Structure 1
């Protein structure tokens, strides 16, 4: 079973997406802030990380930088899942090493799962 870490500070969104991913056969671990997300990532070494960018304690940009600097987490694919639509943010996140950038409002749950499957080659 593939493991996904979902770092998202909005509990309603986190529950809905996590539940859907679990129904699709993924093991999901959640973190409500960037600091906790980093801590879990280093212990869990998930197969994929879904990362919001606007987070308490450490924002998604900082989390991504730290993930890519650490030997134990640098090869984990990261999908940014956010509502920040500005092209500057998209370019910055991709240049920091994210595999994909999805704008929450533009994607249905099924489409998010399809993207995850693509990234995990499933």
Structure 2
């Protein structure tokens, strides 16, 4: 298997030493730099300080749970874009749904194949790392240019007129590209969780965004039962 770039840092969070050793060995073997933590609180501190590319996060942790860690990661401006692979012995569908709804990028149950874990880590990093920054204020994904400072959007060089809410929704999806954004999370981020706003509002705004963006709107993918995900590249044939 080809070695991974040494710039990619992975944080492994699990209170089982055998699991930590197994995951660390196989990730380091293909070239990732690996740090480890046995508690949720320490993991949060390391994430803020070290800014890893991805966190392999167990759900069953002493103290604060993996769900709580994930929720705090996504709520913190400095860590919300870190990719997360949830690793757990829980197989129940509600746990998977909760983890993905909170912003996990993928979910792997124990016992697992180390080779599959390495492949999933690589796939997540490819999905979440393909936006090329032109400068600190501009994101470029395929034909789409998003200028944070000017609150301006262009597709194939042509300016697209968006309302402030539409721009905030698009920027949220782009900044969190490659990972599923639940409707509740989008409501909280874009609409500040206004109590009179219904989830249908999110769907209507996404529909309008797709229409205004034209072919680039195909990068906004519907994830049935969860919400939306912004693709890191234009789908083939678009």
Question: What secondary structure, in the 3-state scheme, does the structure 1 residue paired with 2:86 have?
Answer: strand
Q: Aligned Cα RMSD in Å?
A: 1.0
Does structure 1 residue 45 correspond to structure 2 residue 51? yes
Residue-by-residue CA offset, 1:2-44 (whole Å, 9 max, x unaligned): 1000110001110111011111100000000111011100000
Does structure 1 residue 102 correspond to structure 2 residue 108? yes
- Structure ranking higher in helix proportion: 1
Q: Which runs of 5+ in 1 are unaligned?
A: none
The alignment of Structure 1 onto Structure 2 pairs a total of residues equal to 121
Larger Rg: 2
One of 82, 99, 116 as aligned partner of 1:111: 116
Distance 1:65 1:86 in 2: 19
Question: What secondary structure, in the 3-state scheme, does the structure 2 residue paired with 1:57 have?
Answer: coil
Q: Stretches of 4+ moved more than 2 A in 1?
A: none
Question: What secondary structure, in the 3-state scheme, does the structure 2 residue paired with 1:56 have?
Answer: coil
Structure 1 residues 15-94: aligned runs within 5 Å: 15-94=21-100
Larger RCO (alpha carbons 8 Å, 6+ apart): 1
Post-superposition shift, 1:58? 1.1
Q: Which runs of 5+ in 2 are unaligned?
A: 1-5, 128-238
TM-score, structure 2 as length reference: 0.50
